[in-house]
Structure 1
Amino acid sequence: MKHRLSIVIGSTRPGRAGPVFARWLENFAHEHGKFEPVLTDLAEFDLPLIDEPHHPRLGKYEKEHTRAWSQAVDAADAFVFVTPEYNYFAAPAIVNAVDYLSREWQYKPAAFLSYGGASGGMRSVQATKPLLTTVKVMPIPEAVAVPFYQKSLDENGNFTPSEPVAGGATAMLDELHRWSVALKPMRAPAQ
């Protein structure tokens, strides 16, 4: 069975560009062939600022949105966070979503497709990596950054990647798959 790749749309803002890049990456990952890609839109989970009374390490979730988010993260073998940059920092929706859970994240690799202005969202990526390591996610160095992203969208709002972006996406998915396979024994239930 192919490993399940959760492509997490990390912005919940109205008018966001994240879904455009996520859909492109979903199609690209299908063609790449090493993963079963699944779009995971944080906006659809509508996670309020952490509202669970118990620490996530206990897994005692009382809210339906938390249980649904837990199932989505638990089902994944690897992640690509599609993220913009907010004030030179991580997307708040991603920070909140990561903080909601604990066990579900463990021993899975993550990569990033970031977009923004001159930095292409890379400051967001660098700010998110330490957060992911605290929940035992392995962020890999390979990533895709789309600077001045509006210039890569056509008149219909579709994303047309440059050669370096497509090549970077291939390298990212190849390495993400290697890590997903390598970490799979650690994701197996303890006996």
Structure 2
Amino acid sequence: MVHSCPVLQVIVASTRPGRVGKSFGDWFVRVAEQHGGFEVEQIDLAQVNLPFMDEPKHPKLRDYQHQHTKDWSATIDRADAYVFVTPEYNYGYNAVLKNAIDFLNQEWADKAVSFVSYGGIAGGTRAVQQLKQVVTTLRMVPIFESVNIAFAGTKLDENGRVTEDPLLDGAAVQTLDELLRLTAALRPDSVDTRDRG
């Protein structure tokens, strides 16, 4: 069955109190919905609230013992592409995201992935470079295009919403365009290319 819109999951990695990652996740979801190429879901790891890895069997086997893992597997399995919204902690990405990735194996494979990273002057790019090593090991396909947000706190208004920024919006649209192109190649049954000319 051909779906008119593949499923894009925007996964917010930060779980700490006072985080800004949820604001950037909300912003990217809005841009993605306006883009129209995907059915968009936001996945907030603070809400998923996985324990530290507690499965006794290797994730490759998909023989999960715990309901939280079965639920997480079903969530990730239904996506066709991903965007990780990631902070940078000490030149890397955060432990909650690594844990969430490591719970699963086959569910991630053969899907396009990109990143919205944020931080100080480097815009979270060092976290992304580490993540690329991990996602390729799981047979995800990272694209070149991404959104890297430097001095992240200056991009938010007094209500914590991302302020209007044509450069950020443009980077997001380029990322979505490339995710959709690669998703059509990797998962052709999920994309009806007639919808977008």
Instruction: Using structure 2 for the length normalisation, give the TM-score.
Output: 0.92
Q: Secondary structure at the match of 1:83?
A: strand
The answer for the alignment partner of 1:7 in structure 2 is 10
Q: Distance in 1 between matches of 2:162 and 2:86?
A: 15
Report runs of 4+ in structure 1 exceeding 3 Å deviation.
none
* Structure 1 stretch displaced more, 63-72 or 156-165: 156-165
**Distance in 2 (alpha carbons) for counterparts of 1:161 and 1:129:** 29
Greater strand percent: which structure?
1
Q: Identify the residue that residue 48 of structure 1 maps to in structure 2.
A: 51
The residue that corresponds to 1:105 in the other structure is: 108
1:122 aligns with 2:125: yes
Q: Which residue, 67, 76, 80 being the options, matches 2:79?
A: 76
1:125-162 deviation line (CA, Å, top 9, x unaligned): 11101100111100111000110011111111110142
2:159 paired with 1:156: yes
Q: CA deviation at 1:185?
A: 4.8
Provide the C-alpha distance between the structure 2 equivalents of 1:15 and 1:70, rounded to a whole number of angstroms: 28
Q: Higher relative contact order at CA 8 Å, sep ≥6: structure 1 or structure 2?
A: 2
1:53-86 per-residue CA deviation (whole Å, 9 max, x = no partner) reads 0000000111111111101110000000000001
| Pair 1:182-2:181 in alignment | no
Amino acid at match of 1:63: H
AA at the equivalent of 1:68: D
In structure 1, C-alpha distance between the alignment counterparts of 2:188 and 2:105, rounded to whole Å: 18
Secondary structure of 1:76's aligned partner: coil
Q: Are 2:37 and 1:34 equivalent residues in the alignment?
A: yes
Give the alignment's TM-score, normalised by structure 1.
0.94
Distance 1:92 1:163 in 2: 32
Unpaired runs of at least 5, structure 2: 191-197
Alignment match of 1:18 (pick from 16, 21, 38): 21
Number of corresponding residues: 187
| C-alpha RMSD of the superposition | 1.3
